Amino acid sequence: MSSGESSVGRPLKAGRVRMSKVANGADALFEVFKRWGIRRVFTCPGSTEAAFLNGSLSHPEIDVILTTHESVAVSMADGLSRVTREPSVAYLHANVGLANGIAHLYAAHIARSPVVVINGLKPRSIANRAAFTTAHDTRDFVRQYVKWDWEVLRREAIAEDINRAFKISTTSPRGPTWVGIAQDLLESRGEITVPDRDRYIVRSNVRPGPTAIEEAARTLGDAKRPLLVAGDDVARAEASDEMVALSERLGAPVVAEDRWSLESLSFPTDHPNYLGTYRPGSYVVTQADAIFFAGARAFTEFEPSGSPAIPPSARVIHLHSDAREIAKIYGVDVSLVGDAQVTLNDLLFRLESTGVASAATSEYLRAAREEREQQKGQRIGLHPSEEGPIQVPALVDSLLELSDEQTIIVDDSTTSRTALLDAFNGKRLRPLYTSSSGSLGWAMGAALGIKLGAPGQPVVAFVGDGVFQFGLPALWAAEHYGIAVTYVVVNNQSYAAVGAALERYLGRTLSPAQFPVMDISGPKIASISEGFGVHGIRIDRLSDFKPAFERARDREGPTVIEVMTDTTVLGPPYRPLAKGREGAG
């Protein structure tokens, strides 16, 4: 299904039978899938899936996509849901398969992806005997990462329960669901009624009440230094245009949400009012007298901090589709629970009489832009000559220069993410998908699902060498199905995030060469890719990146570009380590 094509909410054609009956559990699954517009199911199957796999033979309109690891099945489903904004299905095997998929289920949970996880369980007759690949409390594996979890109790309820999972996943605020089905229920024969999908679609574009809108508009209109924070909910609601209109009406600067919670960019990065990501110590944040968190999480804390992330004197407005996100850590002055697009339109209507920005607002924006330009200048100074060791800031600048505005970038680069986000500033916005889950390897599979959902757009996965090792099984699916994703692998031969943490903790009391368990050097990533049948290219000079990227772009299948970056740099603020770490990974 192409991006922008919506199946959920589309009415049934006139004369179509609204209720139907099928003969067994597997057919019930496929009938529910068809009704919800599912065209692909991602799985790494085992023996409990025999009936389902057999049923797929009678339903060729639905592709069963094989992966060689459950984490890839889940991340591919997540990627597909993110780009199409439609539900997707990952089918996992027993307790062991579920355990393998949980890290990326967490990523889908954070991103509010409507991924329906179906879990094939061992027959009920042996489940109470601690049978092979069974667990005492399987539902406990997933409860904190899904909106709803359920184990089917009887054959007749299979279609009803799966239909309910789709309904809950696609109701705002969206998110994953989990349904466990015992093997004997799926294999048993007998009539099963399949519900009418259209009668289970819940349209939940909630809008805040007029009093809350009035108060938010008054707070923004009275502010001399208003700051807008464009969060992921804005992108999910396709409300970027409304966010631009609000910024221009107020004359206010805009930042993306903090990098630790960022999942996508929802404001044009070449707009003059865009000033990068939310950074608590920056001028634009510390001087704000009103901050509007529009669809952002505030905040996902990475480490304890002695100073607040919000200036104590600033008035706070927080809009989110999930009330649990509002005032989660910091109190707010105005809470807006609702759909981002609906709410932003209401605010714009209320602010339509607002004139030009005040002199104080204009000066605030000017000073914030000046600070940002200074930061960009310092960043440019990080670029060495093209023949020296490859620096990540130079690499990401080259990547954005070579990719067009339709290129989808899927980021899972850990310590290189700050450089990538900084590189977007001032350049035309490309679609960006990333994960704040910390579950390494996510983008290796997610990029494949995104490409399947947007086949007409180039897809580039920007990943670290540690991420590559976590997500290696994705290469099998990429090659087997000929999915044309370009993987740009930043190979600094280390877990740089671990090194950065040790440096913060230890200072220079130890030589960087003595830092433990961060050296992951050795694997020849391009050669390993070739072993999977994926075209691999290794480059050691920045001048070689352009021809390598262009070759990858012209190929029909997947490509891995291994970029050997400077091993003496751990990440932001991109300062070199003391001598002695070279070759230590």
**pLDDT tens digit string along 93-143?**
999 999 999 999 999 999 999 999 999 999 999 998 999 999 999 999 999
**Complete edge-to-edge strand list for the sheet that includes strand 63-66:** 63-66, 40-43, 88-93, 115-121, 177-182, 148-151
For the chain, the residue count is 585
**What does DSSP say about strands 226-230 and 177-182: parallel, antiparallel, or unpaired?**
unpaired
Amino acid 5: pLDDT: 37
Q: Which residue has the higher pLDDT, 494 or 222?
A: 222
Cα angle 399, 405, 408 (rounded to 5 degrees) comes to 70
Average pLDDT of the residues in 490-503: 80
Amino acid 305: pLDDT: 80
Amino acid 19: pLDDT: 60
Amino acid 520: pLDDT: 77
Express as a percent the part of the chain with pLDDT over 70.
90
Taking the C-alpha atoms of residue 422 and residue 429, their distance in angstroms, rounded to an integer, is 12
Domains of the chain: 20-200 (3.40.50.970), 210-373 (3.40.50.1220), 384-564 (3.40.50.970)
Kindly indicate the confidence band of residue 404, based on its pLDDT and cuts at 50, 70 and 90: very high
**pLDDT tens digit string along 57-100?**
999 999 999 999 999 999 999 999 999 999 999 999 999 999 99
SS3 of 436-469:
CCCCCCHHHHHHHHHHHHCCCCCEEEEEEHHHHH
Amino acid 386: pLDDT: 59
For tokens 């807008």, what's the residue? 228
- Which strand (E) or helix (H) includes residue 97? helix 94-111
Residues linked to residue 151 through DSSP beta bridges, in sequence order: 180
**pLDDT tens digit string along 408-421?**
999 999 888 989 99
Average pLDDT of the residues in 369-393: 72
Q: Which residue has the higher pLDDT, 386 or 168?
A: 168
How far out from the chain centre does Cα 429 lie? 17
Kindly indicate the confidence band of residue 6, based on its pLDDT and cuts at 50, 70 and 90: very low
Amino acid 582: pLDDT: 36
**Complete edge-to-edge strand list for the sheet that includes strand 535-539:** 432-434, 408-412, 459-464, 485-491, 559-564, 535-539
Amino acid 372: pLDDT: 85
**pLDDT tens digit string along 248-293?**
999 999 999 998 999 999 999 999 999 999 999 999 999 999 999 9
Cα of first residue to Cα of last residue in the chain, in angstroms, is 42
Identify residue 503 by its one-letter amino acid code.
E
Average pLDDT of the residues in 203-212: 92
Q: Assess whether pLDDT exceeds 60 at residue 577.
A: no
Taking the C-alpha atoms of residue 123 and residue 367, their distance in angstroms, rounded to an integer, is 66
Amino acid 385: pLDDT: 52
Helices 94-111 and 442-453, interaxial angle, to 10°?
Answer: 70
Identify residue 32 by its one-letter amino acid code.
V
Taking the C-alpha atoms of residue 24 and residue 337, their distance in angstroms, rounded to an integer, is 43
Q: Residue 553's closest CA among 396, 450, 403?
A: 403
The structure tokens listed for 526 are 């391009």
Kindly indicate the confidence band of residue 513, based on its pLDDT and cuts at 50, 70 and 90: low
Express as a percent the part of the chain with pLDDT over 90.
76
246-260, 393-407, 442-456, 496-510: range with lowest mean pLDDT: 496-510
**pLDDT tens digit string along 425-470?**
888 888 999 999 999 999 999 999 999 999 999 999 999 999 999 9
Amino acid 575: pLDDT: 44
For tokens 């992951």, what's the residue? 520
Identify residue 230 by its one-letter amino acid code.
A
Amino acid 250: pLDDT: 95
**pLDDT tens digit string along 290-311?**
999 999 999 988 888 878 899 9
How far out from the chain centre does Cα 84 lie? 13
Cα angle 547, 549, 551 (rounded to 5 degrees) comes to 70
Residues linked to residue 93 through DSSP beta bridges, in sequence order: 120
Contact predicate 48/79, CB 8 Å: no
Q: Residue 277 gets which letter from DSSP?
A: E
Kindly indicate the confidence band of residue 24, based on its pLDDT and cuts at 50, 70 and 90: confident
Amino acid 454: pLDDT: 97
Amino acid 508: pLDDT: 60
Taking the C-alpha atoms of residue 220 and residue 214, their distance in angstroms, rounded to an integer, is 10
Kindly indicate the confidence band of residue 579, based on its pLDDT and cuts at 50, 70 and 90: very low
Amino acid 13: pLDDT: 44
Q: Assess whether pLDDT exceeds 70 at residue 182.
A: yes
